[in-house]
Structures are given as structure tokens and as C-alpha cells.
Amino acid sequence: MALGVDGVCAATLRYACTPEALAQLSADNRHRYPRRNASLVRQIDFLAGRTCAERALHRAGLAMPAAIGTGSHGEPLWPPGFRGSISHGDGLAIAIVARESRAGRLGVDVQTRIEPGVAAEIRGRIATPEELALCAPAMDDAWLTLVFSAKESLFKALFPQVGTYFEFLDATLCAVHDARLTLRLNTTLSPQHVRGRCYDVVYGWMGTHAWTCCCA
């Protein structure tokens, strides 16, 4: 999978949530879900994400396999010299990785297209009317999915740097380009990430899944 972001390597994996899939992923993977008695879905999502992360690390130039730890907030802990991000859900996992010298902090997200009924219920918590108006009404659910995912990617990229949670409406979609969105912060999160600063997010679709990637 090509993201079109210099220095960033990606890997994806489609999977089923079945005992057979869990057995196969467990046999091929050095990782284990960190909590006991986790559900089948959580274990499979976790292992699929870690599988993608190892593949992306290899593509980014890590010669030897390396265990990817888990931080106190559930975030992946990358081998020295590398940084990345993982997302998974509804049978699709994605990971992006880059050498620290080649890219800033990374955030990736994958989302299944939000159903129209759900979109109508949550759109006010995700985006402003001005953001939603940037897309034709007939594509409202798909557009909301992209905006949701883009803001998730921005959060994943910034959280390790700012150390604080922020909401969807703390960032605004301010520009739309071919395969790229621009988000602007509405609040200051740290001396480096201040109100008014803008961030580009690349995006695409894989079937009914939207994916987004932010390098901050």
C-alpha cells in the first residue's frame, strides 16, 4: 500500500474474526494481547495490527524482527530509531512506520463507512456544519467517515507530544485537496502545537473502509 508520504511505509491486512484466524495469527506472531480473558475480537484486532506493524518495520529498513511493546495508554512502543501508528477494526488492520530521522510523529486510522442513521446522530459531535458543507449531501455519511478518521489520525499523531486528550471539535477541516485534507487546531495543546496551526492528512478508501494518515 502506497501512502504518498515521503519516508513512511505502510502495511495492511484483511482478516476474519474467527477462532481459526486467531490460531493462525497466534502461530505467526510473537505478540500476545496484554490483558487476560480478552474477547476473541480484541485478540484478533491486536494481533492483526502487530502483524502489520512488523511488516511495515521491515519495509522501513529494520532488518531483524523486534517485539513491539504496549504503553500505559495502550499505544505501541516502537523499536529505537523508528516511530509509527497502528489502527484496526471490522476486519482491516493498517500500520505505518518511518525512521525517526525521516518523519515527524505519525497517526493512522481506519474506519468502516458510517451508516446514514448513525451519521445523523453523531455528526454534530464530529464536525461543524461548515465542515460538512464541503461535501455534497448525497455523500454525507462517507464524508463524515473521512472527517472522523482524519481527526482520529491527528489525535494519534499529536497525543504522544502534547500528553493531553482533545475533542473532535478542537480541530477543524479547513481545506480539501485531491487525496489530502487540511486540519486546523482550534485550541492550543502545547507550545509547539498552537491554535491556528495546520496539519495535512492523506486519505483513501479500501472498499467500505476509509483510511487516513497524519504526519505531524
Least confident of 26-35, 87-96, 100-109, 151-160: 26-35
Domains of the chain, residue spans: 9-103, 109-215
CATH of domain 9-103: 3.90.470
**pLDDT of 196:** 98
Mean pLDDT of 155-174: 94
Question: 140-162 and 116-126 are packed helices; what angle lies between their axes, rounded to 10 degrees?
Answer: 40
Selected from 3.90.470.20, 3.30.70.270, 3.30.360.10, 3.40.50.2000, the CATH number assigned to the domain covering 109-215 reads: 3.90.470.20
Would 9-103 and 109-215 be classified into the same CATH topology? yes
What average pLDDT does the structure give for the chain?
90
**pLDDT of 199:** 97
Name the residue among 66, 106, 67, 103 with its Cα closest to residue 84.
106
Mean pLDDT of 62-78: 83
**pLDDT of 33:** 73
pLDDT of 94-109, one tens digit each? 999 999 987 889 999 9
